[in-house]
Structure 1
């Protein structure tokens, strides 16, 4: 009986041990499945379709449609599209302006909330984060109302002060979109940086104060270097988000003619696929956009890591 009980206990322990080893994989399975279905599979489908083109017969009167392998013809057509190529220049300029300004605001706010200077921290953190909870389309509609001369209270106030404010001219429309994006995403990046600051041991700050370092010196020489990983993460996310710019220019385009239908790469892809009916060309454009975004992220990451090594 004792041997049987010991054998049963060993079997039970093995079962429990095996279940514990399998538990992480069971929890990861839904994410892996969703990631494969909604991320990896569409990439391969787009890559496959980018090498094909649909040839129509019968002059559009009931003829058959046939997919024909065309190699890199769609890519050549995409690169010869001046609007599509020009859209990369616009979003690159957009990123050069928007990303540093937004990260500067997010970093400054995170440092203020982590210091002892600001009171009612929870209230102000929630206030800064709330714009992120507003969908980008709604945010663009809201700011679009504030940008229109005939209905905007902001323009009325500025005009009463003698300032001729025009937010949707060819020279200012990009700055108006940058303002919308900064307003929308600063809060979430602030939360990421602030969470990283909270993970820094408080003993380091106490040692800095004992050595006579003030809040500014502590922030510049201790806090910012120790959260460089979070800053890099938010930078990469911001670059990827900028290259995916779509909602803001699409919404604002309904109230101004100074935004073209191919203002951003995503808008050019939408124009080629949905409006132009050429899903194969749109697939090639999407692959080019993905490669460009990935390459730029790698370059930024490499430059950042190079600066870190050089500073050591």
Structure 2
């Protein structure tokens, strides 16, 4: 019995190898594998194409058209205009003024918002803080408020005539020309700090506890653990929130649009998205599409540039 068992095992192994080397069997397994992949990819690809890729391609096509009239009172028709709409975009001073305005907004608001989000996440992850469930809900609750409602609420608080709590005084007009951009920044920060905090806090929870135990054995304080361990390990999450914030900054629309009901210092071209909306309302869909394409390309360049910069610094 002991002499036949190894031989039987060898025959079984050889038979298994022959079956695995069979081209028909391998092709059948590959087909099932590809079919399983298609089951998961096709629904996403269809929705991605219908609701993301197709609108982008349509906007690019619209930006290459222009309105042509036969005579002064001729019926308007769309004809191919090449890059004529993009020439108008680069000649539009209001567009570039709005872009510079949101870039200034982002340079100041994004670091402050992410610093607060990181601080709150570290506080929630600290063993010294009590009532973490309450604070986690309190920090995240503003994000659950729709942006329009948040802007209306803060608009009433800022308005000198409508504020019931004395936020707006005769000495400081938060809706005036010198403060209205930062009033908008305050609303955006109030809403999105909790969202970014949750991303960073989730990254903190993924850090192995063994690292903290080793740091405590070495006598590291809580501040030292946060500075030397937690912050470096959650750097990818911070970069992710920064990219999201850059994209959101260039897409700023809701808060300044609502604030237009409270102040005349915000024009219809205050931000690039507001300019796109007002241009399409004229209507001039071709120029609005060109504005949108240029804005999308600028957002892509800034996001990729920021990622490359952070990756290069991390590699050094």
TM-score, normalised via structure 2 length: 0.87
What do the CA deviations read for 1:46-92 (whole angstroms, capped 9, x no partner)? 111111102134645xx543221111110111111111111000000
CA distance in 1, matches of 2:267, 2:259: 10
Whether 1:118 aligns to 2:129 is: yes
Residue correspondence of structure 1 range 180-199 to structure 2 within 5 A: 180-199=187-206
Whether 1:67 aligns to 2:69 is: no
What do the CA deviations read for 1:165-223 (whole angstroms, capped 9, x no partner)? 32111111011000000011111110000001111101001101111111111111111
CA distance in 1, matches of 2:38, 2:131: 42
Give the CA deviation at 1:123: 1.5
SS in structure 2 of the partner of residue 277 of structure 1? coil
1:98 pairs with one of 98, 109, 123: 109
CA distance in 1, matches of 2:289, 2:124: 44
Structure 1 residue ranges without an equivalent (≥5):
1-13
The verdict on how the C-alpha distance between 1:15 and 1:135 changes in structure 2, with shifts beyond 3 A counting, is farther
SS in structure 1 of the partner of residue 261 of structure 2? coil
CA RMSD across the alignment: 2.4
**Which residue of the partner structure matches residue 48 of structure 1?**
61
What do the CA deviations read for 1:149-179 (whole angstroms, capped 9, x no partner)? 12213326x75xxx93321111110110000
Give the CA deviation at 1:297: 0.7
Whether 1:109 aligns to 2:129 is: no
CA distance in 1, matches of 2:172, 2:128: 35
Residue correspondence of structure 1 range 220-299 to structure 2 within 5 A: 220-274=227-281, 276-299=282-305
Larger gyration radius, structure 1 or structure 2: 2
Whether 1:305 aligns to 2:311 is: yes
CA distance in 2, matches of 1:39, 1:242: 20
**Which residue of the partner structure matches residue 202 of structure 1?**
209
**Which residue of the partner structure matches residue 138 of structure 1?**
149
The verdict on how the C-alpha distance between 1:118 and 1:43 changes in structure 2, with shifts beyond 3 A counting, is same
SS in structure 2 of the partner of residue 54 of structure 1? strand
2:45 pairs with one of 22, 27, 32: 32
C-alpha contact (below 8 Å) 1:273/1:279 kept by paired residues: yes
TM-score, normalised via structure 1 length: 0.88
CA distance in 1, matches of 2:228, 2:292: 42
